[in-house]
Amino acid sequence: MDTTHPWMDEDGDTLHEECGVFGAVNASDAAALTAFGLHALQHRGQEAAGITAFDGTQFVTRRGLGHVAENFSSQESIAELPGAMAAGHVRYSTTGGSGLRNVQPLYADLASGGFAVAHNGNFSNAGTLRQELVQKGAIFQSTSDTEVIIHLVATSRYPTLRDRLVDALRLVEGAYALIVMTPAGMIACRDPLGIRPLQMGRIGNAVVFASETVAFDVVGAEFERQVEPGEMIEVDHDGKVTSYRPFGNAGSRPCIFEHVYFSRPDSVFDGRSVYAARKAIGEQLAIENPCDVDLVVPVPDSGVPAAIGYAQQSGVPFELGIIRSHYVGRTFIQPSDSARHSGVKRKHNANRSLVEGKRIVLIDDSIVRGTTSMKIVEMMRDAGATEVHFRVASPPTAHSCFYGVDTPERSKLLAARMEVEPMREFIRADSLAFVSIDGLYRAVGGAPRDAGCPQFCDACFTGDYPTSLTDLERRDRGADQLTFPTHKVA
């Protein structure tokens, strides 16, 4: 294997959702519920976790690097977080970098009372706003763009915290699903396009919010409805719910990649089972790109539902030709290059007895840099597959995301560098094909994509970003420096 290839960098060859949020109010065991809810959202961020609780007089925050279970599994850790209201966050740290000071919820004492915020998403003008705030004298404690909200709320002239939050959010562009705690209760809100998901449920008299419905299943809550795009829901300490629409109706553009990859398959997103959507994408892929082979083999785990759909639609047997180890750490923590480059082999192993002498089609959810796909194709050939075809359950990922998903910069995306045939050569497959954007829309329950009125954010496939990208435009213009010297807390 050519380990000198510049893209031979395992870290960064998948997309990462950057965060998951959970909140509970009017719940007797709010912190414990939040810990369980965050555990169900662990796939959305594994670098750090935090919970803030409020007992009527005091906010208490506990945050830590690592998984939820490493930080919130003991009775003592939960006992430190008393009260009937709590909100939590799991984080995949890229924007703002790793380090405890960027772990959420972020908290501030404002003149009008305590204010804690857990945020999923990214602002595409966070750098610009941050620069303006710094010029006005704001002192930032973290490098997370979420702190921009706190400063905007702090400097707003409106009287109530809710109105200040609305005032602040009118200034940001991009994606946010927010859970905010104030002395008066909890506020959950979603950006006007609903790019990032946020769901609402109930358990007894408690109201709960979560990035995904799977968290409600885990804590025994009933899914009630999604927080609508542009909606702000306020819940007081008695569980009374009030809905506001301060941002008007901008039309819904939820992230279509939630269906493709990010959400757990046992979640419901945008009114549709994620598992059913992924299977339907696989069926659509088989209709558009059939393949004369002996076996359909998923790239585990995320390619499994689409591979089932592909197999059922095509009538070709589905088999687990690749077995994934669930006990492999992230490759980037390995100290040496040789150890790092062996990552795929340790993570995925060919089921040789199954694939030997067979023509196979591999099904994966996406191709990012292409290095993992190349290694998996090679692994199948080494195991004796006579033909290795590749089908992808999303269109080519040719653009970066600015809305809370960690994508490599555009120049590192394989589909930004080359057309499909050179991509095929790069991953050394016998054939390569992607589901079409219209096919993807059809599979997730939408009408064919209408360039004038798309129903989803699909910018990483189309480059059609649904908001302004102020920071990027300024950087491209060579405008004021938007990067800041950083301070590391050791």
Site for ligand SF4 contains 458 (CB under 6 A):
yes
DSSP 8-state symbol, 344: H
Q: What whole-number distance in Å separates Cα of residue 326 and Cα of residue 404? A: 26
Q: What whole-number distance in Å separates Cα of residue 275 and Cα of residue 306? A: 9
Which residue type sits at 329?
A: G
Q: Which of 197/309 has CB closer to ligand SF4? A: 197
Shortest reach from residue 260's CB to ligand SF4, in Å: 8
Shortest reach from residue 15's CB to ligand SF4, in Å: 7
What is the footprint of ligand SF4 within residues 2-41 (CB under 6 A)? none
Shortest reach from residue 153's CB to ligand SF4, in Å: 25
Site for ligand SF4 contains 403 (CB under 6 A):
yes
Shortest reach from residue 94's CB to ligand SF4, in Å: 13
Task: Measure the CA angle with vertex 395, ends 390 and 396; round to 5°.
Answer: 80
Count of residues touching ligand SF4 (by CB under 6 A): 11
Sole binder of ligand SF4 in the list 235, 306, 354, 401 (CB under 6 A):
401
3-class SS of residue 218: helix
Whose tokens are 């060859």? That residue is 13
Q: Which of 234/471 has CB closer to ligand SF4? A: 471
Q: Which of 129/401 has CB closer to ligand SF4? A: 401
Q: Name the active-site residue from 19, 189, 401, 460.
A: 19
Whose tokens are 């269109």? That residue is 395
Sole binder of ligand SF4 in the list 149, 235, 377, 459 (CB under 6 A):
459
Whose tokens are 């076996």? That residue is 295
Q: Which range binds ligand SF4 by CB under 6 A, 102-110, 148-156, 278-286, 400-408?
A: 400-408
Which residue type sits at 193?
A: L
Q: Which of 2/476 has CB closer to ligand SF4? A: 476
Q: What whole-number distance in Å separates Cα of residue 454 and Cα of residue 159? A: 38
Q: Which of 182/400 has CB closer to ligand SF4? A: 400
Which residue type sits at 340?
A: R
Strands 272-273 and 268-269: antiparallel
Q: Are 34 and 68 in contact (CB under 8 A)?
A: no
CA dihedral 292, 295, 300, 302 (to 10 degrees): 50
Shortest reach from residue 277's CB to ligand SF4, in Å: 14
Q: Which of 99/404 has CB closer to ligand SF4? A: 404
Site for ligand SF4 contains 350 (CB under 6 A):
no
Which of 31, 24, 140 minimizes the C-alpha distance to 77?
Answer: 31
Shortest reach from residue 257's CB to ligand SF4, in Å: 4
Site for ligand SF4 contains 460 (CB under 6 A):
yes
Q: Which of 316/459 has CB closer to ligand SF4? A: 459
By rule CB under 6 A, what string of x and - marks binding of each residue 99-138 to ligand SF4?
----------------------------------------
Sole binder of ligand SF4 in the list 48, 195, 207, 215 (CB under 6 A):
195
Shortest reach from residue 12's CB to ligand SF4, in Å: 15
Whose tokens are 């602040």? That residue is 168
19 is catalytic: yes
Sole binder of ligand SF4 in the list 91, 457, 467, 469 (CB under 6 A):
457
138: how many CB neighbours lie within 10 A of its CB? 17
Question: Read out DSSP for 116-155?
Answer: EEEEES-BTTHHHHHHHHHHTT---S-S-THHHHHHHHHH
What φ, ψ does residue 132 adopt, rounded to 5°? -65, -40
Strands 295-298 and 359-364: parallel
Strands ordered across the beta sheet of 177-182? 106-110, 113-120, 177-182, 185-190, 232-236, 241-244
Q: Which range binds ligand SF4 by CB under 6 A, 61-69, 106-114, 197-205, 401-409?
A: 401-409
Tokens of 152: 């905007």
DSSP 8-state symbol, 108: E
Site for ligand SF4 contains 377 (CB under 6 A):
no
Shortest reach from residue 412's CB to ligand SF4, in Å: 15
Site for ligand SF4 contains 216 (CB under 6 A):
no
DSSP 8-state symbol, 259: I
Site for ligand SF4 contains 376 (CB under 6 A):
no
What is the footprint of ligand SF4 within residues 227-266 (CB under 6 A)? 255-257
Residues annotated as part of the active site: 19
Q: Which residues bind ligand SF4 (CB under 6 A)?
A: 195, 255-257, 401, 403, 405, 457-460
